[in-house]
Structure 1
Amino acid sequence: MNHEQSVLGVDIGGSSIKFCILTRGKVGLHDTVHYENGTNPPEIRRMIVRKINEWKFVGYVGIGFPGIIEGESIIDAPNLGTDWKEYNLLGHLRKEVDCRFAIINDADAAALAMCRETGGWEDENILCLTLGTGIGSSWLKKGELEAGTEYGRIVHPDLHCSLERWASVRTLNEEQLSIHDWANRLSTILQFLETRYNPDRFILSGGISTSSDDWLQSITENVQTPVLISTYGDLTGAVGAAKLHSV
């Protein structure tokens, strides 16, 4: 596949990688591939190369990565393991496939996808949260992306643990919480963030957002700030990574 107006978005998560082709702003071919052999750099690199070859894609590839990015280097990736520190993923990928790569933090990628959804709120400050293995965060301030926040790592003064340790999807699964109990925990996190940062809106994304009918109402009843779900659902990060080539 070699279309000038097609871009491949890659969203590296804690349990899987999501891929999607974006053509003229519209989502086309997409897939989710779960990890079978861990989340080490060679394995994730192999999965990306395999999908590019499978789809015969040549062109721009945007990658959303769950960690701190400086330039093209990965500084830290706490949810994937210590092998990722100072790892140049793009440098290795360029040696294997003929594509043009860019990389961004996964929560910042999700916020890029949401820019189009916030077209009527150009004067607002919107806090975008990605719910998954951790909790990623990014701002859309008056229509502009403000990258580099790591609110999921903030330690809540009353809970004595980080926000993502309290209410991530990983915690939901590891502690076998009911969806009701997890929603109450997420409400606590959103209440903390709205008090500290005073956003005009929250927009949530991540795989669990596709089942928001089961839990969103209980959150909106407990949080004063409007809470919305990304219309891209679990593809939000991949779509935003693809949009990286148009910003």
Structure 2
Amino acid sequence: MSTGHPIGIDFGGTGIKAAAVDLRAGNFASDREKIKTPRPATPAAVAEVFAELVGRFHISDSPIGVTVPGVVRHGVVHSAANIDPTWIGADADAIFSAALSREVHIVNDADAAGLAEVEFGAAKGQRGLIIVTTLGTGIGSALIHDGVLVPNSELGHLEIGGHDAESRAANSVREAEQLSWQAWAERLTTYYRAVERLFAPDLFVVGGGVSKQSDEFLPLLDIETPIVPAQLRNRAGIIGAALVASRQG
């Protein structure tokens, strides 16, 4: 395997996935490896999993990018809505670089997916303001203007109608409340209209696992901005993380 390929690691609530990435092709350069997320998923426990995963690639000098479901500033994690609270205040760049004996850079998970979609996926070649949203347990978001990321947008936590937006419109809520596609689309319309008013984007890209069923709900949305499904699906986090590592390495 070429030592020129950076490695992307996607840290999720149930599994930690990794692959080497060919950034010329915008795709994996290796098979994807996966290990269950440890319990509790403290930074130290997760670092051990990262070391095991990276050891499977037999690459000693490639930079590594890691997605984290939280606000990230200069390598330090500042929120932990869906991960162990010991992450708050952790200098994850330093912890993982020490554990893996090479340069590691972390990035918010939605930001990573957004960068990948702009560079290689549904928003490739698009200019202006692109907003990528991931509909899953919550609502993640990434703002990219002319290829430049504005990090940690956290638009899933906009207050709309007195509610945290993702508490009404995340895909997990659709499943829990057994909403019809039409009923969910009405909530999504309310959400995306609010984002339109604030940012006037040129394009929305919708990711998350439910994007595979985009034909069921995207045509039902009543908004002005063009909106399209993500193309990279579950590869976006790994590819985006590798992209971040290559740019900072």
Which bin holds the TM-score, normalised by the shorter protein?
Answer: 0.7 to 0.9
Contact 2:47–2:99, Cα closer than 8 Å, also in 1? no
Match of 2:129 in 1: 125
Tell me the TM-score normalized by structure 1: 0.85
Q: 2: distance between equivalents of 1:31 and 1:176? A: 33
Superposition deviation, residue 34 in structure 1: 4.5
Segments of 5+ residues of structure 1 without an aligned counterpart are none
Segments of 5+ residues of structure 2 without an aligned counterpart are none
Match of 1:225 in 2: 225
Residue 32 of structure 2 aligns to a residue in which SS? strand
Match of 1:236 in 2: 236
Higher strand share: 1
1:7 to 2:6 alignment: yes
How many residues are aligned here?
A: 241
Matches within 5 A, 1:92-241: 92-116=95-119, 117=121, 118-122=123-127, 124-156=128-160, 158=161, 160-219=162-221, 222-241=222-241
Q: 2: distance between equivalents of 1:185 and 1:18? A: 32
- Of residues 51, 68, 72 in structure 1, which corresponds to 2:71? 68
Q: 1: distance between equivalents of 2:78 and 2:69? A: 11
Superposition deviation, residue 49 in structure 1: 2.1
> What's the % identity of the aligned pairs?
27
Superposition deviation, residue 33 in structure 1: 4.5
Residue 121 of structure 1 aligns to a residue in which SS? coil
Letter matched to residue 240 of structure 1:
G
Letter matched to residue 232 of structure 1:
L
Match of 1:20 in 2: 19
Q: 1: distance between equivalents of 2:16 and 2:212? A: 17
Contact 2:12–2:37, Cα closer than 8 Å, also in 1? no
Change (3 A) 1:148 1:24: closer
Contact 1:129–1:202, Cα closer than 8 Å, also in 2? yes
Change (3 A) 1:181 1:55: farther
Superposition deviation, residue 244 in structure 1: 0.6
Q: 1: distance between equivalents of 2:8 and 2:182? A: 33
Superposition deviation, residue 36 in structure 1: 5.7
Q: 1: distance between equivalents of 2:42 and 2:186? A: 33
Contact 1:11–1:64, Cα closer than 8 Å, also in 2? yes
Q: 1: distance between equivalents of 2:118 and 2:179? A: 32
Superposition deviation, residue 120 in structure 1: 3.1
Contact 1:13–1:133, Cα closer than 8 Å, also in 2? no
Q: 1: distance between equivalents of 2:243 and 2:70? A: 19
Contact 2:75–2:106, Cα closer than 8 Å, also in 1? yes
Moved over 6 A (4+): none
Change (3 A) 1:207 1:21: farther
Q: 1: distance between equivalents of 2:238 and 2:52? A: 17
Match of 2:42 in 1: 40
Tell me the TM-score normalized by structure 2: 0.85
